[in-house]
């Protein structure tokens, strides 16, 4: 550990200095060298950082969270003007006004699919992501991934320099090294050149790849992404003879049958789907006849299942049997298979569902998940066809992916080629195949056969480790690019900031292969669109408009007419093995395929149903767990196809019996200080032929325990009327049934009421709309500079989220009803917290906000004890990372950063209220309804959260509060909460409820 032992490598130092942009200060040669030893030395120099936590496990976490970096690399953000012109979303002011944020439209790609976003830029640095109201996949809302992507931009662990064989190098050196390799490939027409990408929807990148393939005719472009749409394209191939992209119009559907599809959280277009779905469940003007009805048949419980009116757990392999039964019931000529699967389906279900679908021809949707095999997709296409839904609620277009080929096969081909020594130059653009390739491909071994391996990646990760060259990739907020949304709508992605580090975009990387090294991404993208813009229209106008709007008009794919090819059913379904348990692989609801593993926000985001943080688990139904003698936190060996992985057990009510779900993406070994070592790697069990589920899993107890950190330990309402639910029928019979639940509607007080003569801020949360997707939690964290605390602190109940999604179960654990309830500060008019604060650190302002005065808080925690809603959060330790320079750039300058010993809680985004007040004052008017939008409200895909002035009877929030469904939590305590809820209405099929389902 002695830092003097290793002689300073002067050559390396010069390289570092040469490549650094901007002014770089260094204190010693050791520091400049940035060796591991020196980092260690720095940690020891600041022992207060090195030993914050007391126990060993959490201390490691501390190092992960806080000691991430002292950001020795000089930030290059200040190194001059952005050379390309980017276009703000709103009217551009003459110049940047300090303190006044600007918004720029761009898009966040995930799995290739773009979600349109508006990025808030504060003095030149992107600070917050909002949805783009004009973008079809967003409609102004976002998902948690988009919200959290801002943190990835500033992640101190992002790769900062070009690495060659583990040592710091430079782009120039890389080009020098690449040149002879390229010459060689050019000589043999690229026979040894392979390019591996993730799903590509970017027109520019596709064009570049095509150009490249034209130049190197024998080269091959492979695509692999662990969460792909292979089955969707294969299913439509089966049904229609060509791959198509199904797009659903939930706003037109009255009856929906979901066959293991989590369309609210994991399908491309999920944000739009969630909005459309919620719009059909709102109770407007006491009108309930138009409420849709959702049947969810699913293996792994999802928030889609939780939103369903009827939910049935069924093993993933049995979904096909169910689909066949429905199809046959609807008169589609398909064979009946796997009748045994239907034994667990209540007798009249299939008939009743079929009748309901039949009754809503052209206004129903049958949908299946991306992980169901092609035959199920084909069956669903046939059913939708039979119901006349095609062209109405189900629309087919050309595939959004530029190359809809089967990705698993594509990767297998690449591996075979590599193993045969055919590959000489491999370029891996993004992705992380070393980590997430199917285990049986043995990707690493094959990869090592390749002579020259180049990797472009955001992080120096598992794949980079096995490549000679690692080139830092620019974050989507740093680079020019383009991408298509779920419906094909293209967006030109403009950067919000010059790359923080010496990074390149995929476009620039490919340009280098095309002999156009150092061609700016801006020029590449612009050139492509210049060529596309054949219309007479002035290109500059087109460019400006497209950038401004965040999408290119009329780029959504046109509906496509396809003909169902009968006879697809002749191909038998693949799965026949039934022995043992079934294993199901799913993308993680927080860290997706593992790419977000190093995002502390997403790691600490409680997963929608399990409320687990920082880990994945083997999810198992309570009945199966009982059968196997397993309990929560039991560490088991998952033995599947000769691969063994240790995983902790988590009981998941409503899970299909005899199957186990594992979320992918965990168990990273080189994710960064936050993500490395969290959870177990489920990719180790995934094989080429069972990418999503398969049977034959064995479970063995190890006798050990592994502590999982869940943020909610009690799942029942315990007879309390905190969350109120009724049925449409009940509501129809007595619209005031929710009000009648309240025994204490009368407000009794010895004291006179305070008058709020101006604005009186209040919030209404529509439980009918809320599906528990977590976007609000993430948005709040990003907006309000909320720190993460680490697993050991979560275990101790110290998570800091200002808004939490309470999840309650009702009914049998085998298949319970699941409810979500967002709970943030209620801003009680008679706030119990305020009365007990000894120093007046929490008070009411003149508009009825319950405000926190951080500077005044001495941290007695009395307010939290006395809060019946337990929405206050306390900085038990110094949670906020005050040392990492790059993280400072992300913080919202309008929100105080809290230090240890201070209580905090939801403020109703008081900074946004202030901003609106200032604007209104300058314009000499009142604040308009809808002018103040809280962060959670803005992010909510379903518009479940409505905020506004309750003094104004015309405001949206006042109207909601006038609804007969409106109720307050714990009103009998006379707290008079400003946040109220709209009771949830379920719309069960009378045919099925009579049977007691």
Partner 1 sequence: MQAGRFKKSGQLESPAPILAPGYTYHSITEKISTIVLSKAAPKSWLLGLVISFMLLVVFLYSVGYLFMMGVGIWGINIPVGWGFAIISFVWWIGIGHAGTLISAILLLFRQNWRTSINRFAEAMTIFAVACAGLFPLIHMGRPWLAYYIFPYPNNLGLWPQFRSPLVWDAFAIGTYGTVSFIFWFVGLIPDLASLRDRAENKFVRYFYGLLALGWRGSAGHWHRFDTAYLLLAALATPLVVSVHSIVSFDFAISVIPGWHTTVFPPYFVAGAIFSGFAMVLTLLIPLRKIYKLEDFITMRHLDNMAKIMLATGLIVAYGYMTESFTAWYSGSLFERFWLFNRSFGPFGVVFWTLMLLNVVVPQALWSSRVRATPLLLFVISILINIGMWIERFVIIVVSLHRDYLPSSWGLYSGTIWDWLTFIGTIGLFLTLIFLFIRVLPMVSIFEMRHLLTETNNHEGTAISEEQPSTNVVETPTTGVAHGEGSLYGLMAEFNEAGDLLEKTRETYQAGYRKISAYSPFPIEGLSEAMGKRRTLLPLLVFLGGVAGALGAFFLQYYAAVIDYPLNVGGRPFNSWPSFIIITFEITILASAGVAALGMLLLNKLPMLYHPVFNAPRFKRASQDKFFLCIQTKDRKFDVAETRQFLESLQPTEIVMVEK
The footprint of partner 1 on residues 807-846 (CB under 8 A) is 807-808, 821, 823, 828-840, 843-846
- Shortest distance, CB of residue 866 to partner 1, whole angstroms? 5
- Shortest distance, CB of residue 58 to partner 1, whole angstroms? 10
- Shortest distance, CB of residue 776 to partner 1, whole angstroms? 16
Only segment of 65-73, 340-348, 767-775, 896-904 that touches partner 1 (CB under 8 A) = 896-904
Assess contact for 449 and 423: CB atoms under 8 A. Answer: yes
Task: Indicate the residue among 178 and 849 with the shorter CB distance to partner 1.
Answer: 849
Task: Indicate the residue among 58 and 318 with the shorter CB distance to partner 1.
Answer: 58
Look-up of token digits 């959260």: 945
Q: Which of residues 678-717 bind partner 1 (CB under 8 A)?
A: 712-717
Tokens matching residue 226: 């662990």
- Shortest distance, CB of residue 826 to partner 1, whole angstroms? 11
Only segment of 22-30, 396-404, 478-486, 850-858 that touches partner 1 (CB under 8 A) = 850-858
Task: Indicate the residue among 456 and 902 with the shorter CB distance to partner 1.
Answer: 902
- Shortest distance, CB of residue 306 to partner 1, whole angstroms? 15
Only segment of 103-111, 242-250, 258-266, 900-908 that touches partner 1 (CB under 8 A) = 900-908
Among 18, 25, 27, 54, binds partner 1 (CB under 8 A): 54
Strands of 193-197's sheet in order across: 167-168, 163-164, 469-472, 452-457, 425-429, 193-197, 220-223
CA distance 91 to 544: 12
- Shortest distance, CB of residue 598 to partner 1, whole angstroms? 24
Task: Indicate the residue among 404 and 822 with the shorter CB distance to partner 1.
Answer: 822
Among 603, 875, 884, 892, binds partner 1 (CB under 8 A): 875
Among 44, 186, 900, 921, binds partner 1 (CB under 8 A): 900
CA distance 8 to 190: 41
- Shortest distance, CB of residue 851 to partner 1, whole angstroms? 10
Among 19, 34, 52, 225, binds partner 1 (CB under 8 A): 52
Task: Indicate the residue among 4 and 749 with the shorter CB distance to partner 1.
Answer: 749
Assess contact for 879 and 794: CB atoms under 8 A. Answer: no
Task: Indicate the residue among 445 and 845 with the shorter CB distance to partner 1.
Answer: 845
Does position 742 interact with partner 1 (CB under 8 A)? The reply is no
Assess contact for 911 and 852: CB atoms under 8 A. Answer: no
- Beta strand segments in 680-816, E: 693-705, 709-710, 725-727, 761-766, 804-810
- Shortest distance, CB of residue 651 to partner 1, whole angstroms? 17
Task: Indicate the residue among 403 and 975 with the shorter CB distance to partner 1.
Answer: 975
Does position 720 interact with partner 1 (CB under 8 A)? The reply is yes
Q: Which of residues 12-51 bind partner 1 (CB under 8 A)?
A: 48
Q: Which of residues 902-931 bind partner 1 (CB under 8 A)?
A: 902-903
Assess contact for 689 and 173: CB atoms under 8 A. Answer: no
For residue 452, report the phi and psi dihedrals to the nearest 5 degrees: -130, 110
Does position 877 interact with partner 1 (CB under 8 A)? The reply is yes
957 dihedral zone (left: phi>0; alpha: psi -120 to 50; beta) = alpha
Task: Indicate the residue among 161 and 793 with the shorter CB distance to partner 1.
Answer: 793
- Shortest distance, CB of residue 877 to partner 1, whole angstroms? 4
Tokens matching residue 177: 């090294």
Q: Which of residues 766-795 bind partner 1 (CB under 8 A)?
A: 793
Coil, strand or helix at 980: strand
- Shortest distance, CB of residue 908 to partner 1, whole angstroms? 16
- Shortest distance, CB of residue 804 to partner 1, whole angstroms? 7
CA distance 277 to 944: 12
CA distance 130 to 109: 14
CA distance 974 to 830: 7
Burial class (CB in 10 A: 0-12, 13-18, 19+), 37: middle
Burial class (CB in 10 A: 0-12, 13-18, 19+), 458: buried
Torsion of CA 608, 613, 616, 621, to 10 degrees: -50
Does position 56 interact with partner 1 (CB under 8 A)? The reply is no
- Shortest distance, CB of residue 849 to partner 1, whole angstroms? 10
* Binding pattern for the stretch 743-762 against partner 1, x by CB under 8 A and - elsewhere: ------x-xxxx--------
Among 859, 893, 930, 964, binds partner 1 (CB under 8 A): 859
Task: Indicate the residue among 41 and 854 with the shorter CB distance to partner 1.
Answer: 854
Only segment of 238-246, 271-279, 383-391, 857-865 that touches partner 1 (CB under 8 A) = 857-865
Distance from CA of residue 407 to its chain's centroid?
22
Does position 83 interact with partner 1 (CB under 8 A)? The reply is no
Only segment of 2-10, 38-46, 104-112, 802-810 that touches partner 1 (CB under 8 A) = 802-810
Task: Indicate the residue among 712 and 997 with the shorter CB distance to partner 1.
Answer: 712
Does position 858 interact with partner 1 (CB under 8 A)? The reply is yes
Side-chain-side CA neighbours of residue 375 (13 Å): 21
Tokens matching residue 790: 């680490």
- Shortest distance, CB of residue 524 to partner 1, whole angstroms? 50
Q: Which of residues 89-108 bind partner 1 (CB under 8 A)?
A: none
Does position 9 interact with partner 1 (CB under 8 A)? The reply is no
Q: Which of residues 938-997 bind partner 1 (CB under 8 A)?
A: 969-970, 973, 975-976
Task: Indicate the residue among 556 and 902 with the shorter CB distance to partner 1.
Answer: 902
Among 696, 868, 893, 964, binds partner 1 (CB under 8 A): 868
Q: Specify the length of the chain in residues.
A: 997
Among 856, 882, 914, 925, binds partner 1 (CB under 8 A): 856
Task: Indicate the residue among 595 and 873 with the shorter CB distance to partner 1.
Answer: 873
Does position 233 interact with partner 1 (CB under 8 A)? The reply is no
CA distance 279 to 276: 5
Interior/surface letters 389-427, b for 16+ CB within 10 angstroms, e for the rest? bbebbbbbbebbbbbbbbbbebbbebbebbbeebbbbbb
Task: Indicate the residue among 275 and 804 with the shorter CB distance to partner 1.
Answer: 804
- Shortest distance, CB of residue 718 to partner 1, whole angstroms? 5
Assess contact for 161 and 501: CB atoms under 8 A. Answer: yes
203: enclosing H helix or E strand: helix 203-215
Coil, strand or helix at 766: strand
In angstroms, the Cα distances linking 541 to 12, 529, 548, 765 are 47, 12, 10, 42
Q: 287 has which bridge partners?
A: 284
Assess contact for 257 and 359: CB atoms under 8 A. Answer: no
Assess contact for 556 and 394: CB atoms under 8 A. Answer: no
3-state secondary structure 845-900: CCCCCEEECHHHCCCCCHHHHCCCCCCCEECCCCCCCCCCHHHHHHCCCCCCCCCC
- Shortest distance, CB of residue 829 to partner 1, whole angstroms? 5
Number of residues that bind partner 1 (CB under 8 A): 74
Indicate the pairing of strand 709-710 with strand 612-613. antiparallel
Among 325, 857, 958, 965, binds partner 1 (CB under 8 A): 857
Burial class (CB in 10 A: 0-12, 13-18, 19+), 443: buried
- Shortest distance, CB of residue 955 to partner 1, whole angstroms? 22
Provide the 8-state DSSP code for 201.
-
- Shortest distance, CB of residue 696 to partner 1, whole angstroms? 38
- Shortest distance, CB of residue 611 to partner 1, whole angstroms? 9
Coil, strand or helix at 220: strand
Task: Indicate the residue among 261 and 857 with the shorter CB distance to partner 1.
Answer: 857
């Amino acid at each position: 550990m002695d830092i003097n032992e290793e002689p300073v490598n002067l050559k390396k130092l010069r390289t570092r200095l040469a490549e650094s942009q901007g002014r770089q200060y260094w204190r010693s040669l050791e520091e400049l060298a940035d060796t591991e030893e020196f980092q260690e030395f720095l940690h020891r120099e600041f022992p207060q950082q090195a030993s914050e936590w007391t126990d060993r496990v959490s201390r490691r976490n501390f190092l992960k969270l806080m000691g991430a970096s002292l950001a020795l690399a000089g930030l290059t953000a200040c190194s001059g003007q952005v050379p390309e012109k980017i276009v703000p979303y709103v009217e551009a002011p003459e110049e940047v006004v300090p303190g006044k944020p600007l918004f720029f439209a761009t898009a966040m790609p995930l799995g290739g699919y773009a979600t349109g976003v508006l990025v808030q830029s504060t003095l030149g640095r992107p600070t917050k992501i909002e949805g783009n109201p004009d973008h079809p996949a967003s409609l102004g809302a976002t998902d948690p991934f988009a919200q959290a992507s801002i943190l990835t931009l500033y992640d101190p662990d992002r790769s900062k320099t070009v690495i060659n064989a583990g040592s710091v190098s430079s782009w120039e050196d890389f080009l020098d090294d690449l040149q002879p390799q390229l010459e060689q490939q050019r000589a043999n027409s690229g026979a040894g050149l392979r390019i591996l990408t993730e799903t590509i929807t970017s027109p520019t990148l596709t064009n570049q790849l095509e150009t490249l393939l034209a130049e190197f005719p024998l080269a091959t472009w492979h695509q692999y992404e662990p969460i792909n749409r292979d089955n969707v394209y294969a299913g439509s191939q089966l049904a229609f003879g060509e791959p198509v992209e199904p797009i659903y119009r939930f706003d037109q559907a009255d009856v929906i049958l979901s066959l293991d599809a989590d369309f609210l959280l994991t399908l491309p277009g999920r944000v739009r789907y969630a909005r459309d779905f919620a719009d059909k469940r709102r109770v407007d003007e006491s009108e309930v006849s138009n409420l849709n009805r959702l049947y969810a048949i699913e293996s792994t419980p999802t928030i889609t299942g939780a939103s369903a009116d009827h939910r049935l757990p069924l093993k993933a392999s049995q979904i096909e049997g169910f689909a066949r039964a429905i199809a046959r019931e609807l008169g589609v000529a398909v064979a009946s298979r796997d009748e045994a699967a239907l034994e667990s389906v209540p007798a009249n279900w299939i008939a009743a569902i079929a009748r309901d679908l039949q009754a809503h021809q052209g206004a129903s949707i049958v949908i299946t998940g991306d992980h169901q095999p092609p035959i199920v997709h084909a069956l669903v296409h046939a059913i939708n066809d039979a119901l006349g839904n095609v062209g109405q609620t189900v629309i087919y277009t050309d595939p959004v992916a530029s190359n809809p080929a089967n990705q698993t096969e594509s990767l297998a081909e690449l591996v075979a080629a590599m193993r045969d020594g055919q590959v000489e130059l491999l370029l891996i653009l993004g992705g992380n195949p070393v980590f997430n390739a199917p285990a049986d491909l043995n990707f690493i071994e094959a990869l090592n056969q390749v002579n020259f391996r180049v990797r472009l990646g955001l992080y120096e990760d598992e794949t980079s480790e096995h490549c000679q060259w690692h080139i830092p990739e620019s974050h989507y907020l740093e680079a020019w690019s383009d991408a298509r949304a779920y419906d094909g709508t293209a967006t030109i992605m403009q950067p919000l900031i010059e790359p923080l580090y010496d990074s390149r975009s995929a476009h620039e990387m490919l340009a280098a292969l095309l002999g156009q090294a150092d061609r700016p991404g801006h020029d590449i993208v612009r050139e492509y669109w210049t060529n596309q813009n054949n219309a007479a229209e002035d290109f500059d106008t087109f460019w400006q408009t497209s950038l401004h709007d965040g999408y290119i008009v009329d780029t959504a794919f046109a509906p496509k007419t396809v003909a169902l090819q009968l006879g697809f059913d002749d191909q038998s379904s693949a799965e026949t093995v039934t022995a043992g348990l079934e294993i199901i692989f799913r993308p993680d609801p927080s860290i997706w395929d593992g790419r977000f593993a190093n995002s502390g926000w997403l790691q600490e985001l409680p997963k929608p149903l399990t409320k687990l943080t920082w880990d994945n688990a083997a999810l198992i139904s309570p009945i199966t767990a009982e059968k196997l003698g397993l309990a929560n936190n039991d560490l088991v060996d998952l033995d599947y196809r000769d691969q063994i992985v240790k995983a902790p057990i988590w009981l998941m009510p409503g899970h299909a019996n005899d199957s186990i779900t594992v979320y992918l993406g965990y168990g990273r070994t080189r994710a960064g200080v936050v993500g490395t070592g969290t959870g177990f790697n489920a990719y180790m069990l995934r094989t080429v032929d069972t990418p999503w589920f398969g049977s034959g899993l064995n479970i063995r107890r190890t006798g050990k325990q592994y502590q999982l950190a869940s943020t909610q330990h009690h799942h029942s309402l315990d007879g309390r009327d905190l969350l109120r639910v009724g049925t449409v029928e009940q509501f129809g019979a007595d619209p005031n049934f929710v009000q009648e639940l309240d025994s204490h509607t009368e407000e009794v007080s010895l004291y006179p009421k305070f008058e709020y003569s101006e604005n009186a801020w209040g919030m209404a949360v529509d439980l009918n709309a809320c599906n528990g997707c977590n976007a609000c939690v993430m948005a709040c964290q990003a907006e309000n500079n909320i720190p993460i605390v680490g697993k050991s602190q979560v275990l101790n109940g110290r998570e800091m989220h200002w808004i939490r999604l309470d999840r309650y179960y009702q009914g049998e654990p085998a298949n319970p009803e699941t409810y979500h309830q967002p709970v943030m500060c209620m801003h009680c008019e008679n706030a119990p917290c305020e009365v007990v604060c000894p120093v007046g650190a929490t008070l009411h302002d003149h508009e009825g906000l319950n405000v926190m005065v951080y500077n005044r808080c001495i941290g007695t925690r009395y307010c939290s004890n006395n809060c019946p809603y337990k929405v206050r959060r306390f900085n038990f330790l110094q949670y906020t990372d005050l040392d990492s320079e790059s993280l400072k750039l992300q913080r919202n300058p309008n929100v105080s950063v809290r230090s240890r010993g201070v209580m905090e809680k939801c403020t109703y985004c008081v900074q946004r209220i202030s901003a609106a007040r200032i604007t209104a004052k300058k314009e000499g008017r009142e604040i308009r309804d809808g002018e103040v939008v809280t962060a959670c409200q803005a992010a909510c895909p379903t518009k479940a959260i409505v905020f506004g002035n309750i003094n104004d009877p015309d405001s949206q929030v006042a109207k909601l509060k006038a609804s007969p469904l409106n109720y307050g939590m714990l009103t009998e305590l006379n707290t008079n909460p400003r946040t109220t809820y709209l009771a949830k209405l379920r719309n069960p099929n009378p045919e099925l409820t009579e049977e007691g389902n």
